[in-house]
Structure 1
Amino acid sequence: MKLLRRLLIAIIALVAIAYAGVVGYMYVNQRALQYAATGPVIPLADTALSGAEDIALPSGDGVIHGWYQAPRPGLPVIVYYKGNSKSFGEEHERYEAFVAAGYGFIAFDYRGFPASPGQITEDNILADAITAYDWAAAKGDPLVIWGRSIGSGPATYVASQRDAKALLLETPFLSAVGVAAERYPYLPVYWVMQDQFRSDVWIKDVAEPVFVGHGTADTTIDVSNGERLYALAPNPYELWIVPGVGHSDLWAAGIWDKARPFFESVMTP
């Protein structure tokens, strides 16, 4: 019996040590695991955005780099908060569609992403999001906010802090920490995760009309996240759930065709 007891204690100790090692590894490397901030920086000259300009905005201890184009009179500027991977310029076809319809836009890389040197943290991303919004607001045109994937976090935060015309969330999470908990239910992510992006808290202070788009085949952020976040919005406009569509497929599925009437509706006196 003593031998079995000792063996059991040894096994429990080994399991505890292994578990602590996994938690420790996840804690130390969490930002490298959370963000995919790599990829080429696409020059503005390589796009069809002939009327846009490169911008460099001081933000915190660094500078964020992006593109900006003013809208046609009577239309808003889309403040676009990118997703988790690559550089903002990868989505230039979206900005080209915005401009072709007469909308202005501002898009940029958060600090630590390819075009903007610095450290990636939630605090820096939120500060950069406010910097871009305030810079665009100073131009005097009405603003609407579009946040995609991880960009839905800063988009929701900015909408809770500023007075935009509308908030569009594409494949949003209820919170980043909630997604991590769903993915790693055996880890104490609520205790150790530093960049939690609590959109579930921020959305309660969003006065703007809210549109949420999500696909049922999203394996990165489950569709239930978009549904639950939308249910918390004080001023819901539309929940657009697309059957069979994955995380990166809403643009091809026609979200721009849904966004335009949404933005037009908020611009109508």
Structure 2
Amino acid sequence: MKLLRRGLVALVLLLVVAYAGIVGYMFVNQRALQYDATGDVTALTSTLLSGAEQVAINTGESVVNGWYQAPRAGMPLIVYYKGNSQSFSAEHERFEQFVADGYGFLAFDYRGFPASPGDISEANVLEDALAAFDFAATKNVPLLIWGRSLGSGPATYVASQRDAKALLLETPFLSAVTVAGERYPFLPVTMVMQDQYRNDEWIADVAEPVLVAHGTGDTTIDVSNGERLYALASNKDELWIVPGAGHSDLWDAGIWAHAKPFFERALAQ
């Protein structure tokens, strides 16, 4: 009996040490696990954006690099906050469509992503996001905010701190820590996660009209995140849920056809 008891104690101790090791590893390496900051930078000259220009935006401590194109006279400008993989420049087909319909745009890589030097952290991403919006605000045209995936964090934060005409959130999370908790329910993510992106708190201070777009087949950020975030918005416009659509499917599913009338409604208010 004593031998069995000792064996059970040893097993429990082994499990505790192993669990602590897993938590410790994830704590130390959490940003490498959270962000996918790899990919090539597409040359602006290889796109159809003949009227766009490369811009370097001062963030105070560093510089983020992106592309800017002014809108057609009387049209607004979309400040676009990218997702968590590759460079913003990989999405040039979106920007080409914006421009074809008369919209201007500003898109960029946060610090630590392919086009911009520096270290990735939530504090840096949010600082970069504010700097980009403030750069766009100097153009004296109506501003629209579009945040995709990871970009829903800085987009919601900026909308809570600045005045824009509309906020579009594509495949957003309720918070990054919510997604981490759903993915790793056996880990104390709320206690140890540094970059939590609390959209669930920031949305309370968003006065702009809000459109949330999500797909039921999203295995990266479950559709319930978008639904719950939309429920917290004070100025709801549309919740567009696409049956079967995955995390990267909404452009092909026709999100632009929903974005344009949403923006038109917001501008008319």
Normalised by the shorter chain, which TM-score bucket?
Answer: over 0.9
SS at match of 1:163: coil
Is residue 57–residue 64 contact of structure 1 (8 Å, CA) maintained in 2?
A: yes
- The reply on whether 1:110 has 2:123 as its aligned counterpart is no
Is residue 86–residue 114 contact of structure 1 (8 Å, CA) maintained in 2?
A: yes
- The reply on whether 1:72 has 2:59 as its aligned counterpart is no
Please report how far the alpha carbon of residue 187 of structure 1 lies from its aligned counterpart in structure 2 after TM superposition.
0.3
Task: Give the aligned partner of residue 233 of structure 1.
Answer: 233
Is residue 71–residue 102 contact of structure 1 (8 Å, CA) maintained in 2?
A: yes
Decide whether aligned partners of structure 1 residues 9 and 110 sit closer, same or farther in structure 2, where only a CA change above 3 A counts.
Answer: same
Per-residue deviation, residues 179-225 of structure 1 (Å, max 9, x unmatched)? 00000000000000000000000000000000000000000000000
Please report how far the alpha carbon of residue 60 of structure 1 lies from its aligned counterpart in structure 2 after TM superposition.
3.5
> For structure 1, which segment, 4-13 or 125-134, has the greater mean C-alpha deviation from structure 2 after superposition?
4-13
Task: Give the aligned partner of residue 63 of structure 1.
Answer: 63
Task: Give the aligned partner of residue 251 of structure 1.
Answer: 251
> For structure 1, which segment, 1-10 or 243-252, has the greater mean C-alpha deviation from structure 2 after superposition?
1-10
In the alignment, residue 169 of structure 1 is paired with which amino acid? L
Task: Give the aligned partner of residue 187 of structure 1.
Answer: 187
* C-alpha separation in 1, matches of 2:235 and 2:74: 23
Per-residue deviation, residues 224-245 of structure 1 (Å, max 9, x unmatched)? 0000000000000000000010
* C-alpha separation in 2, matches of 1:145 and 1:112: 22
In the alignment, residue 162 of structure 2 is paired with which amino acid? R
Is residue 40–residue 114 contact of structure 1 (8 Å, CA) maintained in 2?
A: yes
* C-alpha separation in 1, matches of 2:48 and 2:251: 18
Please report how far the alpha carbon of residue 73 of structure 1 lies from its aligned counterpart in structure 2 after TM superposition.
1.6
Is residue 60–residue 124 contact of structure 1 (8 Å, CA) maintained in 2?
A: no
For structure 1, the residue ranges without an aligned partner over 5 or more in a row are none
* C-alpha separation in 1, matches of 2:231 and 2:20: 37
Please report how far the alpha carbon of residue 177 of structure 1 lies from its aligned counterpart in structure 2 after TM superposition.
0.2
In the alignment, residue 177 of structure 1 is paired with which amino acid? V
* C-alpha separation in 2, matches of 1:13 and 1:57: 52
* C-alpha separation in 1, matches of 2:71 and 2:268: 16
Q: CA RMSD in A?
A: 0.6
Task: Give the aligned partner of residue 25 of structure 2.
Answer: 25
Please report how far the alpha carbon of residue 249 of structure 1 lies from its aligned counterpart in structure 2 after TM superposition.
0.2
Which runs of at least 4 in structure 1 moved beyond 6 Å after TM superposition? none
Please report how far the alpha carbon of residue 89 of structure 1 lies from its aligned counterpart in structure 2 after TM superposition.
0.2
Per-residue deviation, residues 134-191 of structure 1 (Å, max 9, x unmatched)? 0000110110000000000000000000000000000000000000000000000000
TM (norm. structure 1) is: 0.99
Per-residue deviation, residues 17-63 of structure 1 (Å, max 9, x unmatched)? 00000000000110010000000111110100000000001113211
Identity of aligned residues (%): 72
TM (norm. structure 2) is: 0.99
How many pairs align?
269
